[in-house]
Amino acid sequence: MFISKSRFILSVVLSLVSTAGIQAQQQPTIQDKLQRMQQAAAQNTQKLHTYQWIESTSLTINGKAGEPKEAICHYGPDGQLVKTPLGQQGPPHISGGPLKQHIIKKKIEEAEEEISEITDLVSAYLPLNPVQLGNAWHTKRVDFEHDGESGNTVIINDYVKPGDQFRLSMNMTTLQIQRIVIQTYFQSQKDPMTVDVRFSQLADGTVYPSISTISAPTKNIVITKSSTNFSKPAY
């Protein structure tokens, strides 16, 4: 997955609670809800670590979708996410003459470089850095938005780069995270990237990132990850 959901929410809560200061005193109900979120996040972490699931990754380049790659995911005793590939995971077979093979290999190398660049940019945002969030709070770059249906969105402006935006949507009644949207760019704002993570809920109330999409339009690359088939591992 692009993020560790439990660590992310916990970072948000701890940072907001510890840096709220005067704002929290003026709006105690917000701090109360954030403290409840901290407790809910800890409980959700424990639940999520008892599951295993299948993660499917699809890569689309220039509008052409490649074969999805699947992996069984679970958390190890050290709390780290472990992924075991399913099926054949080797390099694609390249047919044709020497010139054609050279061209295809060159395109694959270029795509891998661009994917690496995308991954590096995503890692600048996720998991969320408590120090950066605290700095954003003190410089008044964090806003709250209410949608009128028990939902609220935390909006972090200029989080990593000037003009970028990090949006965390949640249901403040159920304390469930619903969606994360990041709007950023590579070298310039003419070269944008969007990360969209949507969350779902299992039967026991465990919240998890069900679909994650990274879109880099100027690079003509879209990466989609989905998490399904949750079950309790038989150890």
Amino acid identity, position 108 = I
Specify the pLDDT at position 3: 46
Amino acid identity, position 172 = M
Specify the pLDDT at position 233: 81
Specify the pLDDT at position 148: 60
Specify the pLDDT at position 184: 97
**Residues 123, 214: Cα–Cα separation, whole Å:** 12
**Tokens read off for 184:** 């950023």
**Residues 49, 65: Cα–Cα separation, whole Å:** 32
Q: By three-state DSSP, how is residue 97 classified?
A: coil
Specify the pLDDT at position 132: 75
Q: By three-state DSSP, how is residue 166 classified?
A: strand
**Token pair 């690079």 is at which residue?**
219
Q: By three-state DSSP, how is residue 211 classified?
A: strand
Check: CB of residue 216 under 8 Å from CB of residue 114.
yes
**Token pair 């470089």 is at which residue?**
113
In this structure, the dihedral spanned by the alpha carbons of residues 172, 175, 176 and 182, taken in order and rounded to 10 degrees, is 60
Amino acid identity, position 234 = A
Check: CB of residue 210 under 8 Å from CB of residue 176.
no
**Residues 28, 104: Cα–Cα separation, whole Å:** 59
pTM recorded for the entire structure:
0.76
Instruction: Show pLDDT as tens, one digit a residue, over the chain (235 residues).
Output: 554 444 444 444 444 444 444 444 455 455 565 567 667 777 888 899 999 999 999 999 888 888 899 999 999 989 888 999 997 666 655 556 666 555 666 676 777 888 899 999 999 988 766 677 667 777 777 788 876 655 688 888 999 999 999 998 888 777 778 899 999 999 999 999 999 999 999 999 899 999 999 999 999 999 999 999 999 987 6
**Residues 206, 202: Cα–Cα separation, whole Å:** 5
Is the preceding peptide bond at 92 cis, omega within 30 degrees of 0? no
